Amino acid sequence: MSSLEAGLSPIKRGTPAGFFVRSFLFVILTGTFLLMLPISSRSGNFTDFVTALFTATSATCVTGLVVVDTGTHWSHFGHLVIMLLIQIGGLSYVVLVTSLMLLLNRKIPLRERIMIQFSLNALSLRGIVRFLKGVLITVLSVEGLGALLLFFVFIRDYPLIKAIKFAVFHSVSAFCNAGFDLIGGFRSFTGYVDDILLNLTITSLIIIGGIGFLVIYDIYQKLTKKKNHLALHSKAALLTTLFLIVIGTIMIFILEYNNTLKPLSWKGKILGAYFQSVTPRTAGFNTLDIGKMRPATWLFLILLMFIGASPGGTGGGIKTVTFLVLLLSVYTTILERKHVHFKNRSINWETVKRAWAVFFFSLSLVILSWFLLLLTEPFEPLKILFEVVSAFGTVGLSTGITPQLSTFGRLVITFTMFLGRVGTVTAGLALLSFVNHKKTVDYPTEEVSVG
């Protein structure tokens, strides 16, 4: 057994879902240990366990919620650890390990191929290694280009070495939909609200990372004439993403026109509304002060955060395609049709049941976490709900209450971030495997009254 295969062996036993959970736990605990070390903090002191655990979980689960200022609390080494956790969390541990195996021309065993399929939400095992190579090329190319463009932004305000560091860190953070920033003072990108290059670069990285590797690979095959048309999944993800961005931009522009957008120029107003319509779907950067927004805007952002990114992407939430399937199933029920249709295709009922199972599990997690925080935290219920959904959707936006949470509150948010990243997959699959179980006995059908 090679050292790389040995790196997988302690955690790869059992089902792919179980492996997925254990791999994230392994990375989080390793990151927690490293962040606790004096070398990771700028002061040179040990960081307490809960703060290190919260930060490691937030980075690995690509969330972005923080209880200490990332730019000022952590040292260069700490920033490197956080960036690596973000990269590992965005792609998953098994993808990175098997990628190293590919670079060394090692053969990928069937078990690892199954785990890659699970980690990337691939629809089948066919061509999975080729798909993985495409993922790696995409990540390196997009993050590299993003870092180059961001360098031209940061070089205007920072020395050369710092500008390079900021460009690389924020490119990785944006593509992986993490939302961590090094600006300092919990300001995020509020000082760049009217900077076209930064706004378009960051949002493009977020969208590409969040749209899902399945869609990117499908688009590539379509452009290179290897396929005649996009898969139904890709059409659903692209159309839903575009719809949410357009509606989000319009709604935020209207809701915040006389509030956080008021002092800005027309360019700043449009860029600010657009930027904040993209980031709630799992990347917690902000160019507008979230804490000063209207409660109605918070509620709208909560909806966007709950929906999240697309399946197979680096973000969280219930996923765009899940949201679309839910809407289509309700529409089908209202019209009393037998099948759910989209783009002249029928979506099978197993997929519809999966979508409702994910929705139910996700809503239950949000309600439970909200309930627990309402017992201990002295903040407005809507602000607490905002924090919970931000954690569940692995977004990272906050109204400003994260650093003020109690130890219990921080642990609840940590738990929510973890389940938000892996729970809808693992718990959802566990539930769906029960739903999909082929019964040996069929029972008589009888009607019940609902609604």
- What pLDDT digit, counting tens, does each position of 267-322 carry? 999 999 999 999 998 888 999 999 999 999 999 999 999 999 888 777 788 999 99
pLDDT in tens, 381-427: 999 999 999 999 999 999 999 999 999 999 999 999 998 888 665 65
Give me the mean pLDDT over the 60-82 stretch: 95
E strand spans, 69-192: none
Residue with tokens 């305000």: 157
Give me the mean pLDDT over the 76-87 stretch: 96
Q: Compute the C-alpha angle 383/386/390, nearest 5°.
A: 145
Please say if the pLDDT value at position 202 is more than 90. Answer: yes
**58 — pLDDT class (breaks 50, 70, 90):** very high
Residue with tokens 């059908």: 445
State the Cα–Cα distance between residues 395 and 386, nearest whole angstrom: 10
89-93, 245-249, 319-323, 344-348: the lowest-pLDDT one: 89-93
**91 — pLDDT class (breaks 50, 70, 90):** confident
Residue 400's pLDDT is: 92
Please say if the pLDDT value at position 363 is more than 70. Answer: yes
Report the Cα 267 to chain-centroid distance in Å: 28
Mean of pLDDT over the chain: 86
**110 — pLDDT class (breaks 50, 70, 90):** low
Structure tokens at 276: 């904040």
- Report helix, strand or coil for 314: coil
- Report helix, strand or coil for 347: strand
Name the nearest CA neighbour of 127 among 213, 209, 211, 208. 213
pLDDT in tens, 317-345: 899 999 999 999 999 989 888 888 888 88
CA atoms within 13 A on the CB side of 438: 0
- Report helix, strand or coil for 319: coil
8 Å CB contact between 413 and 54: yes
Please say if the pLDDT value at position 1 is more than 50. Answer: no
Give me the mean pLDDT over the 157-167 stretch: 96
Q: Compute the C-alpha angle 169/321/373, nearest 5°.
A: 65
How would you class 227 by CB atoms within 10 Å of its CB: exposed for 0-12, middle for 13-18, buried for 19 or more?
Answer: middle
Please say if the pLDDT value at position 8 is more than 80. Answer: no
